[in-house]
Amino acid sequence: MENLALIESFSEFKDDKLIDRVTLMAILEDVFRNALKKKFGSDDNFDIIINPDKGDLEIWRNRIVVADDEVEDDNQEISLTDARKIEPDFEVGEDVSEEVKLIDLGRRSILALRQNLISKIHEHDNTTIYKQFKDLIGEIYTAEVHHIRHKAVILLDDEGNEIILPKDKQIPSDFFRKGENVRGIIEGVELKGNKPMIIMSRTAPEFLEKLFEQEIPEVFDGLITVKKVVRIPGEKAKVAVDSYDDRIDPVGACVGMKGSRIHGIVRELGNENIDVINFTNNPQLFISRALSPARVSLVTLNDETKHAEVLLKPEEVSKAIGKGGFNIRLAGQLTGYEIDVLREGVEEDVELTEFSDEIEAWIIEEFRKIGLDTAKSVLDQEVSDLVKRTDLEEETIQEVVRILKEEFED
């Protein structure tokens, strides 16, 4: 073998964990056949014998012996005189096999051949990695922080695969150091210029669901089913669970004594507040449970519009709405109903939209985001609390309160 660089190429790739012997041999043969086609016009009459374990390669060209003046295709035919230089007893009509040395292909062809080989191997590796991570979408994966950028954290797994954790897929309280192990779910993978781009997420609801599977044996064993997960990453989450075994309390099993079982999950998610709720097919009961810790007096449904009105005692309203309106927003996502809060003992109230002539729509929307969509629901709140929970200036809120109070004074 004249070309030592090519032998080294075999050595580089024969131990590649992503490629098996049969595939490697197929790639090598394909690369060499392409080189032969360029050099001789056809590779049909060539035999290629490869031993990738040793870096051995033999190329044999098969031609038919013809009379000296009858050679029409010197790739397929060889003159009797030339044939007898190889073996003196050849006759016209016989087959001749002659070894082609790599040096015969020319230095430039050999360099191109090596580059083509490297390219094909990398292409195969990237396809294999793509398929591997495609099968891992939705599964928890652990990788080490390699590089921290402004818009993403770059992770490396044990195989050296690069995984991207974008800023918007990180929990707001996440803080990473180089060399630290990070858990998340594989959210997606795509080929970018033949290179797989693997995306991890720590904000997806599926991450919390998979953490339940990992940390709670009954969920892992299928005794408890996670029916639905909704999250505001880093703030609050609600998880509906169910069990087909009446002897198992799904909520108690998931939370554990004094929260012992769920504590590790909460810590992983940056102290995200997690409500575990017993699932039921009864929508009124499910909505009532979803608004926990508030105690709901009555739930009235409109199934056609997927709208629910819940009646609560005045002291339960703030619990139902929750800090920043997170509780009522997540309860709506969990149950699939748009939830409006009504207060017991309040006979007269006015929808905020009725004030659209005096209050701009975007201001009304800010109140609606935190579960306040009537005049009295706003007036029941402290102005200082509304400043914290909305993106509105204090002067704007004071003006809204003045307008609403005038309505009831009139």
pLDDT tens column, 253-279: 999 888 889 999 999 999 999 999 999
pLDDT, tens only, 185-221: 999 998 787 788 999 999 999 999 999 999 999 999 9
Question: Lowest-pLDDT range, 139-153, 284-298, 306-320?
Answer: 306-320
Question: Lowest-pLDDT range, 128-137, 295-304, 342-351?
Answer: 342-351
Question: Lowest-pLDDT range, 95-104, 208-217, 363-372?
Answer: 95-104
Q: Is the predicted pLDDT of residue 377 greater than 60, yes or no?
A: yes
Contact yes or no for 100/83 (Cβ under 8 A): no
Fold match between domain 136-203 and domain 204-279:
no
| Helix axis angle, 21-40 to 107-134, nearest 10° | 140
Q: For the chain, give every domain's residue range.
A: 4-132, 136-203, 204-279
Helix (H), strand (E), coil (C) string for the chain = CCCHHHHHHHHHHHCCCCCCHHHHHHHHHHHHHHHHHHHHCCCCCEEEEEECCCCEEEEEEEEEEECHHHCCCCCCEEEHHHHHHHCCCCCCCCEEEEECCHHHHCHHHHHHHHHHHHHHHHHHHHHHHHHHHHCCECCEEEEEEEEECCCEEEEECCCCCEEEEEHHHCCCCCCCCCCCEEEEEEEEEEEECCEEEEEEECCCHHHHHHHHHHHCHHHHCCCEEEEEEEEECCCEEEEEEEECCCCCCHHHHHHCHHHCCCHHHHHHCCCCEEEEEECCCCHHHHHHHHCCCCCEEEEEEECCCCEEEEEECHHHHHHHHCHHHHHHHHHHHHHCCEEEEEECCCCCCCEHHHHCCCCCHHHHHHHHHCCCCEHHHHHCCCHHHHHHHCCCCHHHHHHHHHHHHHHHHC
The predicted structure's pLDDT at residue 30: 78
Question: Lowest-pLDDT range, 121-125, 333-337, 362-366?
Answer: 121-125
Question: CB atoms < 10 A from the CB of 196, how many?
Answer: 21
Phi, psi (deg, nearest 5) at residue 161: -75, 135
* Residue, of 103 and 155, whose pLDDT is higher: 155
Q: Is the predicted pLDDT of residue 109 greater than 70, yes or no?
A: no
The predicted structure's pLDDT at residue 16: 53
The predicted structure's pLDDT at residue 8: 52
Tokens representing 216 are 């709670």
Tokens representing 25 are 């041999």
The predicted structure's pLDDT at residue 20: 61
Phi, psi (deg, nearest 5) at residue 382: -75, 140
Closest to 220 in 3D by CA, of 140, 274, 157, 333: 140
The predicted structure's pLDDT at residue 202: 97
What lies within 8 Å, CB to CB, of 192 at 6+ separation is none
Phi, psi (deg, nearest 5) at residue 90: -65, 145
Look at phi and psi of residue 138 and say left if phi exceeds 0, alpha if psi is from -120 to 50, else beta. left
Q: What is the CATH topology of the domain spanning 136-203?
A: OB fold (Dihydrolipoamide Acetyltransferase, E2P) (2.40.50)
Q: Is the predicted pLDDT of residue 57 greater than 80, yes or no?
A: no
d(C-alpha 180, C-alpha 251), whole Å: 32
d(C-alpha 188, C-alpha 14), whole Å: 30
* Residue, of 331 and 244, whose pLDDT is higher: 331
The predicted structure's pLDDT at residue 12: 55
The predicted structure's pLDDT at residue 129: 83
Contact yes or no for 71/77 (Cβ under 8 A): yes
Domain 4-132 CATH class label: alpha beta
Q: How confident is the model at residue 285 (pLDDT cuts 50, 70, 90)?
A: very high
pLDDT, tens only, 66-92: 888 888 887 888 888 888 888 888 888
d(C-alpha 326, C-alpha 318), whole Å: 11
pLDDT, tens only, 389-400: 888 999 999 999
d(C-alpha 59, C-alpha 62), whole Å: 10
What lies within 8 Å, CB to CB, of 342 at 6+ separation is 309, 310, 311, 312, 349
Tokens representing 17 are 């964990």
* Residue, of 313 and 212, whose pLDDT is higher: 212
Contact yes or no for 378/367 (Cβ under 8 A): yes
pLDDT, mean over the chain: 85
Please report, rounded to a whole number, the percentage of residues in the chain having pLDDT higher than 70: 87
Tokens representing 310 are 């819940």
Would you state the CATH architecture of domain 204-279?
2-Layer Sandwich (3.30)
The predicted structure's pLDDT at residue 156: 93
The predicted structure's pLDDT at residue 4: 43
Q: How confident is the model at residue 232 (pLDDT cuts 50, 70, 90)?
A: very high
* Distance set, CA 213 to CA 66, 132, 188, 203 (Å): 75, 22, 20, 17
Q: How confident is the model at residue 101 (pLDDT cuts 50, 70, 90)?
A: confident
- Please state the rounded mean pLDDT for residues 236-240: 96
